[in-house]
Amino acid sequence: MTYTVQEVAKKMHLTTYTVRYYHDHGLLPYVKRDENNNRVFDDVDLEWVHLITCLRQTGMPLESIKHYFDLVIEGQSTVPERYQIMLEQQQRTLDEIAELNHHLATINQKVAHYADVLINAKPDTYEPSNVAATPDHDPDMATKA
């Protein structure tokens, strides 16, 4: 099956400008052109676009993605370097996930607190006017809220 730039953009949730940019900058080396010089994408090209999108969303710069793709095109002898690139990106992504999980834990505590306040009609002890009135007031709590 083949796709136009517009179809690829819609399918991959990108702008047509982004798809063209990736192609123009050598990130989609196998895209062909039809008799009217329009780009024609196939399913393999969509896999490349998907990988670009995935790597970009995990913070890899386009220059690094281009280098990785150049290595892919170069062939089997570059597998060790490609493996190392993916290991490093994997670790960066795991570190980001850990940081996001830490943030999520804080947000989950706030959600649980506010649910308790709403369900049990309690005063919000995190509000400055209520913190001083609670017997178990933690002076550091005001800075944690």
Q: What pLDDT, in 10s, does the model give residues 125-141?
A: 776 665 555 555 555 54
pLDDT of residue 136: 54
**Rg, the chain, Cα only:** 25
- pLDDT one-digit tens code per residue, 40-95: 999 999 999 999 999 999 999 999 999 999 999 999 999 999 999 999 999 999 99
Alpha helices by DSSP H, 120-140: 128-131
Q: Which residue has the tokens 């050598």?
A: 26
End-of-domain residue from the set 30, 56, 74: 74
Structure tokens, 4: 């136009």
Judge if 87 and 143 occupy the same domain. Answer: yes
pLDDT of residue 125: 78
Judge if 101 and 65 occupy the same domain. Answer: no
How far apart (Å, rounded) are the C-alpha atoms in residues 28 and 139?
57
Domain containing residue 113: 79-145
Instruction: Find the length of the chain.
Output: 145
Q: Facing residues of 42 across strands?
A: 2
Least confident span in 16-20, 94-98, 138-142: 138-142
End-of-domain residue from the set 58, 74, 90: 74
pLDDT-derived band at 124, boundaries 50, 70, 90: confident
How far apart (Å, rounded) are the C-alpha atoms in residues 6 and 15?
8
pLDDT-derived band at 11, boundaries 50, 70, 90: very high
| Sequence-separated (6 or more) residues with CB below 8 Å from residue 30 | 42, 44, 45, 48
Judge if 33 and 68 occupy the same domain. Answer: yes
pLDDT-derived band at 122, boundaries 50, 70, 90: confident
pLDDT of residue 142: 46
Give the side-chain half-sphere CA count within 13 A for 139. Answer: 0
End-of-domain residue from the set 43, 74, 105: 74
CATH number, domain of 49, equals: 1.10.1660.10
Count: domains in the chain: 2
Judge if 96 and 125 occupy the same domain. Answer: yes
